[in-house]
Structure 1
């Protein structure tokens, strides 16, 4: 008797699919270029190997049993997966990566990032293809965590890294732009009515809202916090802004992320005696190693993203377009 794992071949699954679609053994045999007796024999071999009845032979039609329905459903899924694997293998051979991971800092516009993802998935490398076949993974990091994701190999491209950070060996870095930070509080916060620039001594009396650095191995960064100051720590910039809207603390926030709230009066910008913060932001990727035979020196998926980042309009949008995107992403 044929073993079960030998019986479940792509040809056997395709045969089941043809019989179900055509409605009879005879019609399926014509589609597959076989005689009906050969198809019947193949089905009996499959049933014997699986020790189940796949078709109810009491009627003149090819009616599937419950076991047959299950095999057909799973078989179609497996055939689709095998076809998808074949497509991905061909695309990888042509230079498209199997997977590309992009780490983005919380200061980056998610609206623009998702638009770039849409454009990437809509690619048609050659006529008739469904896309590059590269699985895209997007992850959000904070401060040094964005660098760490890249350096540790967990990401292929990091967007929103600190340009003034020491660039590790084997990493390429380009400038994205500059980002202004403003000190903001809720209108009903005690500092909202403060006259003149706020001193550090006055800031020390009030709770600050800070975003936790997502780095696990690199030294976490601490920005604009005073020694001894009470701190409420949250996981993202969006959560930080939400906390400050609720008057749970105060602090510096990226002006583009807070712009809508400032214009609506939900946040009030106050001057401080300490110098206003301006961050220089960039994007980085790991330099290509020696090219493998029959593969592009630079993966085509990564190259596509780098090409998009060369556009001044795209770089500006990644830093500026935050309207309507205030719900945190895990």
Structure 2
């Protein structure tokens, strides 16, 4: 199927509009004026519309011409980006990169790193997706992501390059107006059992799922992210352990109260990982930068 609108015709149309005349466009494009005229006449004939009003000294676009220019410019830009990506890919830079981020990972540090990558001026499309618990491993396993950060749990062997990101410290915290906020002494399981527990559910699609913060409680309320868990506990809906690095401000402002608890909740090691078979320059750059970042302070 032959299309009336070609990239060459769009380039000619854009230049005529910029320069104001066919002659000036021909000079800018290093073409003879007759070639410019032929290209526009053929475009008009193929489309069955008038592109330029030639009654005035300056070439003026008709409404149909404006539409072709507006939509055509977008096609031209997309074509230029595609060419850049192809050349970039040949040089070892990927066209796109997907980062799976667990919801315990702070946004600010990640976007600082992405900002520094943008300064490299590489046309790599970056996508950030949020996962929970085993969801990051699942995203790597199913190839939904190129890099996963904030990984916890048992580490798979052989398939991935794994780097430590630090440890996450958890504290048992309740809202300032929760009945347990004024409790004196160590909080025991029998005290917690009287209230709903807020649990973050796993986002894994194919690997076995798990949940964070499960303990014997009056009722389990499952949420999809650590941010939602924090909000639920801020509103006094339930209780549970929260990552210290994510609630420091809430603790300092008195919105949440940290309570000593007899239920053990050790620090959790956190990792980033990428598949060993992928060796793109963007992936390598991000792995190096992500591994050097202090995440949970």
Output the TM-score relative to the length of structure 1. 0.85
Is 1:303 aligned to residue 284 of structure 2? yes
Query: Does the 8 Å contact 2:234/2:255 carry over to 1?
Result: yes
Q: 1:75 aligns with which of 49, 72, 75?
A: 72
Indicate which of 131, 147, 158 corresponds to 1:157: 147
**1:29 Cα deviation from its structure 2 partner:** 2.2
Q: Give SS of 1:176's match.
A: strand
Match of 1:210 in 2: 199
Q: Secondary structure at the match of 1:172?
A: strand
Report the CA distance shift for 1:33/1:284 in structure 2 as closer, same or farther (over 3 A): closer
Q: Is this contact kept in 2: 1:107–1:319, CA < 8 A?
A: no
Residue of 5, 10, 33 corresponding to 2:7: 10
Give how far 1:83 is off.
1.0
Single out whichever of 86-95 and 184-193 deviates more from structure 2. 184-193
Quick one: which of 220, 224, 231 aligns to 1:231? 220
Residue 31 of structure 2 corresponds to: 34
Q: Deviations over 1:133-173 (max 9, x none)?
A: 111110111111111111111011111101x4141541121
1:272 aligned residue: 261
2:192, 2:217 within 8 Å by CA — same for their partners in 1?
no
TM-score, with length taken from structure 2: 0.94
Q: Classify the secondary structure of the residue corresponding to 1:160.
A: strand
Shift of 1:203: 1.1
Q: C-alpha distance in 2, partners of 1:78/1:261?
A: 49
**Count of aligned pairs between the two proteins:** 297
Partners in 2 of 1:189 and 1:210 — Cα distance? 18
Instruction: State the SS of the aligned residue for 1:319.
Output: coil
Q: Deviations over 1:63-89 (max 9, x none)?
A: 111111111112222111111111110
CA separation of 1:223 and 1:16: change in aligned 2, threshold 3 A? closer
Q: How big is the shift at 1:4?
A: 5.6
Name the SS of the counterpart of 2:212 in structure 1: coil
Deviation at 1:36, TM superposition (A): 2.9
Decide which of 127, 146, 150 is 1:137's aligned counterpart.
127
Structure 1 unaligned blocks of 5 or more = 124-130, 290-297, 321-330
Distance 2:35 2:116 in 1: 48
Q: What is the distance in 2 between the residues matched to 1:257 and 1:288? A: 34
Cα deviation 1:170-209 (Å, max 9, x = unaligned): 1121211111100000122111122221111221111111
- In 1: Cα distance, 2:35 partner to 2:164 partner: 66
Does residue 1:108 correspond to 2:105, yes or no? Answer: yes
Change (3 A) 1:211 1:284: same
Distance 1:202 1:34 in 2: 84
Is contact 1:101–1:155 with CA below 8 Å preserved after alignment? yes
User: C-alpha separation between the residues in 2 aligned to 1:204 and 1:12?
Assistant: 73
| Counterpart in the other structure of 2:136 | 146
What is the distance in 1 between the residues matched to 2:123 and 2:118? 9
Secondary structure of the corresponding residue to residue 119 of structure 1: helix
Higher mean alpha-carbon deviation, 38-47 vs 10-19, is at: 38-47
Mapped partners of 1:46, 1:4: distance in 2: 12
CA distance in 1, matches of 2:32, 2:282: 47
C-alpha deviation, 1:243, in angstroms? 1.1
Q: 5 Å matches for 1:171-182?
A: 171-182=160-171
1:208 and 1:247 map into 2 onto residues whose CA distance is 11
Residues 98 and 33 from structure 1, CA distance in 2 versus in 1: closer, same or farther, beyond 3 angstroms? closer
Check conservation: 1:100, 1:135, Cα contact below 8 A.
yes
Given that residues 172 and 240 in structure 2 are in contact (C-alpha distance below 8 angstroms), is that contact kept between their aligned partners in structure 1? yes
Contact 1:167–1:173 under 8 Å retained in 2? no
